[in-house]
Amino acid sequence: MNQCTEVVLLRPPDFLLALSVPGDRPEPGYVLCELGEDHDDDHAAMLWDEGGRPGSAVWARWNAERARPVSLPWCSALDARREACEFFAGHGSGHSWHVTDPTDEAITRALASEHPRLFPD
């Protein structure tokens, strides 16, 4: 399945702005939903892994009304090669190995045709 194409402008939280140095404040940025296009819950994009809290990450979750950062545990599913799903537990679409980013796929195809030695079968 293709990746969801929903984006949102995520503004830095107030506490981060308060802690920043004047003249060097974090700016808003767009995030792209990482879930499959058929998900039935809020959109989601991982912001950072919580290395100090193993097993969880901070995700941006959003819908038409609001966007918010949420700490969520990782999905525990493994694929046939024993690689972990890259989404959070309870995500509303297929696992990460089922989701295809069409832009990334197109870039990979173009690079493989121009530089086949970098993309062996």
| Each residue's pLDDT tens digit, 12-38 | 888 888 999 988 889 999 999 999 998
- For residue 91, give Cα distances in angstroms to 17, 19, 72: 30, 32, 10
The pLDDT, as a whole number, for residue 104 is 86
The pLDDT, as a whole number, for residue 110 is 92
Give strand pairing partners of 62. Answer: 43, 67
Question: Residue 79 contacts by C-beta under 8 Å, 6 or more apart in sequence?
Answer: 85, 95, 97
Beta strands in the chain (DSSP E): 7-10, 29-32, 43-49, 56-62, 67-73
**Do residues 116 and 109 make contact, with C-beta atoms less than 8 angstroms apart?**
no
CA dist., res. 7 & res. 64, Å (int): 11
Provide, rounded to the nearest whole percent, the portion of the chain with pLDDT above 70: 98
